Amino acid sequence: MAFVEFTPSGGLFQFSAQLGEALAVGGDEVHLLTGADPELGSGHPDFHVRPVLRSWHPADQEVVHPVVRKVRRGVRAGMRAYSWLQVLVHLRRLRPDVVVWSSWRFTMDALGVLAVDRLLPRAALTIVAHEPRLRRRGDTTTDKRGVLLDRTLAAAWRAMDAVFVLGAEARDRVLERWEPSGPVVVVPHGDEAALRGPEPVPPAASTPPVVLFFGSWTAYKGIATLLDAVPMIRHEVPDARVVVAGAVADVDAAALQAHAERVGVETRPGYVPKDDVAALFGDARVVAIPYRRATQSGVVHLAYTFGRPVVATTVGDIPSVVADGETGILVPPEDPVALARGLVTLLADAGLAGRMGAAGAKWLAAEASWARVAAVVHDTVDVRSSAR
């Protein structure tokens, strides 16, 4: 099997690396084609991380002059084209039975998928569709469209022998928007054990009243709703702290920072290296997931990995992994009063936070282990590759 993951860090890369290793543990030979200096390496002899692509970290977009931004865009387009050539060269050499992607953003990506389909006519082509709809980077509430982009993406989706999604609603979105030739299969997200680190993490019950928002600062994740909830949280729990950590993506960072300062929220802008993740979660009692929209959230699974309860919104497939009142609290989206109420419930009751965090960790081990994800993926692609 060959995974193609252009970016060598971040959530999509971490998912691919952990799934790839789980497949190797299960008996598959897996090669992960990615960029230089990958964030995670291999812990199994049949899992090979190959840093052969030219890439950049898309989550940290520093503010630059518009002219510089245009030049950089051209340079990165050239890097992407070179990387696709490398993908074709390495796939031709490896001749895998299965090729797995996680996202396509550009017309070039769709054309590359179609080239792989012609290059490897007997290989099963698949995608783990974390986001079934392609969104604009500057406005993640709007679909990215274009005549050529739409046509090439539609053809790439039709070439898929199997599609994996992280929930039933995501499956519906795929079937509504695209026409893959194979089945659309729901799989769990898996845990984030690769980010746990060597040191033990204190249980949620022993931590001070700290709320953590973790993830990229992007419009759909509802950070403004969390900031609006802070005065109400402090009214009930005066010593509560709120921390917002993650890479700045498509929000007005200056305005968000100013808002955070007004309500006394601690911010940590910038991509969080994997070695710093455990300390952030270890310091928190509860994780806030105030998304305005979503398909699924890897942050829920990350919170459970560290035994932290969540307060999350009822969007997308998030309710399928948050048992309300057991592993966390569900609230409506864009409702700061309900969000504050849910967070206060756990900030004011350390024992309850500890019990919910432990329940989340137990659910993760029983229902969403990487071994379970890998078994579903392996069985599905084994059937599809045999049919080819």
Q: Residue 216 maps to which CATH number?
A: 3.40.50.2000
Query: Are 204 and 155 found together in one domain?
Result: no
Among 54-58, 96-100, 324-328, the range scoring the smallest mean pLDDT is 54-58
182-237 pLDDT, tens digit each: 999 999 999 999 999 888 899 999 999 999 999 988 888 999 999 999 999 999 99
User: Which of the four pLDDT bands, split at 50, 70 and 90, describes residue 58?
Assistant: low
Using the structure block, give the residue that is written with the tokens 């992280």.
Answer: 166
Q: Does residue 249 have a pLDDT over 80?
A: no
The rounded distance, in Å, linking the Cα atoms of 75 and 80 is 9
Q: Write out the residue range of the structural domain in which residue 345 sits.
A: 193-367
Digit-coded pLDDT (tens) for 343-382? 999 999 999 999 999 999 999 999 999 999 999 999 999 8
Considering the domain architecture, whether residues 131 and 262 belong to the same structural domain is answered as no
- Number of structural domains (the chain) is 2
Q: Say which residue, 76 or 369, is predicted with more confidence.
A: 369
Q: How confident is the model at residue 139 (pLDDT cuts 50, 70, 90)?
A: very low
Do residues 162 and 199 share a domain?
no
Residue 65 has pLDDT above 90, yes or no: no
30, 170: one domain: yes
- Picking from 115-119, 164-168, 247-251, 342-346, which range would have the lowest pLDDT averaged per residue? 247-251
What is the pLDDT at residue 136?
A: 58
For residues 348 and 221, membership in a common domain is answered with yes
Give the CA count within 13 Å in the CB-facing half-sphere of 253.
16
Place of tokens 């969104």: 135
226 and 332 housed in the same domain: yes
Tell me the residue ranges of DSSP E strands in 158-238: 162-165, 184-186, 210-214
pLDDT > 70 in the chain, percent: 93
Same domain, yes or no, for 110 and 23? yes
As a whole number, mean pLDDT of residues 32-40 equals: 94
The pLDDT of 142-146, averaged and rounded, is 68
Same domain, 228 and 130: no
**180 and 249 co-located in one domain:** no
Q: Are residues 197 and 168 in the same domain?
A: no
Which parts of the chain are beta strand (E)?
2-4, 30-35, 47-53, 98-101, 124-128, 162-165, 184-186, 210-214, 241-246, 266-269, 286-289, 310-313, 328-331
Rank 119-133, 255-269, 349-363 by mean pLDDT and report only the highest: 349-363
Instruction: Using the predicted structure, report yes or no on whether residue 44 has a pLDDT greater than 90.
Output: yes
| Helix-, strand-, coil-residue percentages of the chain, each rounded to 5 | 45, 15, 35
Regarding whether 153 and 21 lie in a shared domain, the answer is: yes
Task: Examine the domain organization and report whether 85 and 154 are in the same domain.
Answer: yes
